[in-house]
Amino acid sequence: MKKKALILLVSIILSFSIKAQTLDDYLVIAAENNPGLKAAYAQYLAALERSKQPGLPDPQLQVGFFFKPMERFMGNQQADIQLMQMFPWFGMLSTQKDEANKMALSQYQLFLDEENQLLFQVKSTWYELFRLNEEIRISIENLKYLEKYERLALIKFQAATPNPSGSFSSNPGNSSSKPSQAGNSTGNAGMNSMGGKSTQSSAANSTGGGMTSGGMSNPGPGMSDVLQIRIEKNELENNITQLKANLEPLKIKFNQLLNREIQEEIKLAVVMEPASLELEKREILDSIWKNNPMLAMYDAEIAAYDLQAKMAKLDGRPMMGAGLTYMPFTSRLEDGMLMGGDDMFMPMVTMTLPIYRKKTQAKIKEADYLKEAAFHERQKTENLLAMEWATAIRDWEEAERKIQLYSEQTELVNQNLNLLVTAYSSSGQEFEEVLRAQQRLLDYQLRRINSINQQYQSLAMLEMLASSKF
């Protein structure tokens, strides 16, 4: 029983944690699971291992054996064994380690840039998913309003449609007479189409039926309103279908960025209020120049090329070596007496002579040119970051203005729409204005959602450039 209760508690906690997932949770999942980011981190670890590789050259051991002992004064020499250790010039090993550490730091900054781009893609896709869901929700709400207007127009149409005896259902006192052409013209004078135009019934109605070949009454202006609504409904339903279809590739992209199953459920925010920036524009640019990992990467590369030039100079210095030679001897018989037999140990010192200076100078120049190239690449990147900052700030400010505009316009259109619906309910006129106002309301609502999305996209871009949250 306790086991079942524990399982139930764990399942409740897990279900709550799934429901409570936010964008920050998805960012953590992406950072932990994305294979591209894992590859970039593995490359950094590989570069870090290179900093452990500099060290003394391997010692050299030479062993020579004589198939026939060589006769010497000291006795018969059996072998010649040499052991030698070379030592680079002073400071060479520490310089190599520093250079490897700088290159590893450069690789780490590339990993950070990869992480920033991944997080930006996750944020951007998440905001797009929210935008599409909001557009679908708003479109469905507007579809419900159109259905409401359709019912209202049908009521108006039915109230103004003549009965089979020739009279209008709204005026049952005239049911004994058959409508003539003039009578139909008089009866239709008060019915308006969507553009406010009056229509006359055809002379064929004088036959007394007032019915079309399909059995329906002469539609008149009221039916025109109904048909216009249905046209708008069909277009809106098609747009909703297309928006739902657009969701699928975005869901797949989002789940693939997180390295999950493509059909994994995605939790989105219920509502997204307009964002805000606490820093001034220039402060954001300074933060970008200070924290962007690509600039830090070039700084690390410039420092590494300085160390490479230093290594080239040290490589042009002599290398010293110290070793030991061991020669084993055996006694030999000479004039009936054993002679020699003592082994010999001989210390040795060696030194390289770097007399070919061209290759040393070429290595130094190579490092200097690479440093100059990295310096110019840094300047180029700094300029590109400033341009991207300017574009993101422009988009942010544009979105901020549009959000305020569309919020105000939505409120005004709502008020105007309520007045138009009330007028149409009472008089049956201005129906085209009702539809036009409803379409304008939908347009402003969608534009506001797009502006909020644009604002968050700009914010995500600024956060990627500055490698920090605002």
pLDDT tens digits for range 284-320: 999 999 999 999 999 999 999 999 999 999 999 999 9
Cβ burial of 439 (10 Å; 0-12, 13-18, 19+) is middle
- Report how far apart, in Å, the C-alpha atoms of 104 and of each of 40, 97, 99, 304, 367 are: 12, 10, 9, 10, 17
Residue 322, SS3?
strand
Which residues in the chain show pLDDT less than 70? 1-21, 160-222, 335-337, 339, 341, 428-429
* Per-residue model confidence (pLDDT) at position 432: 84
Give the model's pLDDT for residue 2: 39
Q: Which of 159, 181, 184, 183 is nearest to 172 (CA)?
A: 159
d(CA 179, CA 217): 13
Burial of 13 (0-12, 13-18, 19+ CB in 10 A): exposed
pLDDT in tens, 124-150: 999 999 999 999 999 999 999 899 888
DSSP run (H or E) holding 386: helix 357-427
State residue 162's pLDDT score: 61
Res 383: pLDDT: 97
Q: pTM for the whole thing?
A: 0.77
Strand ranges inside 189-335, DSSP E = 320-327, 329-330, 332-334
Is residue 292 a contact partner of residue 465, using CB atoms and an 8 Å limit?
yes
